[in-house]
């Protein structure tokens, strides 16, 4: 009996000793795993830590593959977008000349005919001129040498001098002077030398679309009602043919020319109204940027700088803004009153103020400002 008790006690002691050893090993493994985790985290932070890193930088890094794909698609499909703009605009012009102009000449009074002919052709000339200049004019690129440039930085991507207001375009793969953005509808960057052409094209295209939408509203209503009537009569004609009632007179059928005319009017009004809304919003956005003396890229830069200085109790001032009115004069190149006619209301290939390398005070600015700082 005692031998059994001794044997049982020995077995229990051995079991408890094994449990203690297993628990110690388990704790040891957990401690080793925690040490490896902290060591790996420290190595990762030492390699990737950046004091300027924030949520925007992390999101940009995560979306970098998406940006790469969009840049390459935009680069290869730029010609397609340009052809699409030319094709859609040409179709609207063709519909106006073939379908609407004869109707205008037959039904409108001489005063309205003169107005439509004068305004329509002026608007069309301004659209064609500014679009052609926007896609063919180089936005401007900084020189590859730093001999004549003072106070410039170096672009991290093309390793070349980067003057103030210059930014690198990932689609064109080079720096652009006073870059605003890369426009796929132009297949070109919008920069210092073609920014005015781009905005003028957007403005006159919006004006032309609004003009077509307002002028063609009554024609659109009549054409839409005619198309609905065509569908109803076509349905009745099929029902008569199915019932084979020869004593009934079949509904009249519309000719191909009538169908094409009504559908063309509906197409013109829908397309012009859609473009007027979308392009009008873009034009207003760029007008607000021009009023503040900013580009699309500088708007984001200035916003962050304004927030940074606000935390320090300071007020940010855009060094390239001369006041709302003077900003428009500098942007449009208006140096004297007659330039509002010769350079704004008529096609003009005049160059913008400055070279895009330095930003001296333009002669048309009435208010003197403090020296400009580089952004």
Whether 88 is in a domain gets the answer yes
Whether 310 is in a domain gets the answer yes
| Cα separations in angstroms, 103 against 141, 170, 197, 224, 266 | 49, 49, 34, 17, 16
Whether 291 is in a domain gets the answer yes
Ramachandran region of residue 175, left (φ > 0), alpha (ψ -120 to 50) or beta?
beta
Whether 11 is in a domain gets the answer no
* pLDDT tens track, the chain, 375 positions: 566 666 666 666 766 666 565 555 556 677 777 788 877 777 777 766 666 566 666 666 676 676 667 666 777 788 899 999 999 999 999 999 998 888 888 888 999 999 999 999 999 999 999 999 999 999 999 887 766 666 568 888 888 888 889 999 888 888 999 999 999 999 999 999 999 999 999 999 999 999 999 998 999 999 888 888 888 877 776 666 656 554 555 555 667 788 889 999 999 999 999 999 999 999 999 999 999 999 999 998 888 888 888 888 888 888 889 989 999 999 999 999 999 999 999 999 999 988 888 888 887 786 555 444 433
- DSSP state letter for 96: I
Whether 146 is in a domain gets the answer yes
Please list the active-site residues.
183
Whether 221 is in a domain gets the answer yes
Whether 46 is in a domain gets the answer no
Residue 371: what pLDDT? 44
250 half-sphere exposure, CB direction, 13 A CA radius: 14
Quote the pTM value: 0.77
Domain with 249, as residue range(s), is 62-358
First to last CA, the chain: 95
State which H helix or E strand residue 327 sits in.
Answer: helix 324-332
Domain count, the chain: 1
């Amino acid at each position: 009996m005692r031998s059994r008790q001794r044997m049982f006690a020995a077995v229990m002691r051995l079991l408890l000793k094994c449990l203690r050893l297993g628990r110690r090993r388990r704790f040891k493994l957990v401690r080793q795993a925690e040490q490896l985790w902290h060591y790996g985290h420290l190595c990762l932070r030492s390699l990737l830590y950046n004091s300027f890193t924030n949520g925007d930088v992390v999101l940009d890094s995560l979306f970098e593959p998406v940006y790469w794909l969009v840049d390459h698609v935009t680069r290869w499909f730029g010609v397609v977008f340009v052809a699409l703009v030319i094709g859609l605009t040409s179709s609207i012009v063709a519909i106006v000349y073939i379908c609407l102009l004869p109707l205008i000449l037959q039904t409108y009074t001489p005063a309205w005919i003169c107005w439509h002919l004068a305004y329509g052709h002026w608007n069309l000339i301004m659209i064609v001129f500014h679009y052609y200049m926007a896609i063919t004019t180089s936005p401007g690129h900084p020189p590859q040498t730093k001999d004549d440039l003072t106070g410039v930085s170096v672009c991290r991507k093309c390793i070349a001098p980067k003057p103030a207001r210059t930014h690198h375009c990932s689609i064109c793969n080079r720096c652009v002077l006073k870059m605003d953005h890369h426009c796929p509808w132009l297949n070109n960057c919008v920069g210092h030398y073609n920014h005015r052409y781009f905005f003028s094209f957007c403005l006159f295209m919006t004006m032309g679309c609004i003009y077509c939408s307002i002028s063609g509203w009554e024609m659109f209503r009549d054409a839409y009602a005619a198309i609905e009537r065509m569908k109803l009569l076509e349905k009745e004609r099929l029902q008569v043919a199915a019932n084979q009632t020869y004593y009934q007179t079949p509904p009249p059928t519309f000719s191909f020319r009538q169908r094409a005319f009504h559908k063309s009017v509906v197409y013109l009004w829908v397309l012009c109204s859609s473009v007027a809304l979308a392009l009008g919003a873009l034009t207003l956005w760029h007008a607000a940027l021009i009023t503040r003396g900013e580009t699309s890229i500088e708007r984001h830069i200035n916003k962050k700088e304004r927030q940074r200085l606000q935390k320090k109790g300071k007020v940010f001032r855009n060094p390239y803004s001369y006041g709302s009115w003077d900003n428009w004069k500098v942007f449009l190149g208006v140096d004297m009153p007659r330039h509002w006619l010769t350079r704004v209301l008529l096609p003009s290939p005049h160059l913008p103020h400055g070279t895009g390398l330095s930003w001296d005070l333009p002669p048309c600015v009435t208010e003197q400002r403090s020296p400009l700082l580089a952004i």
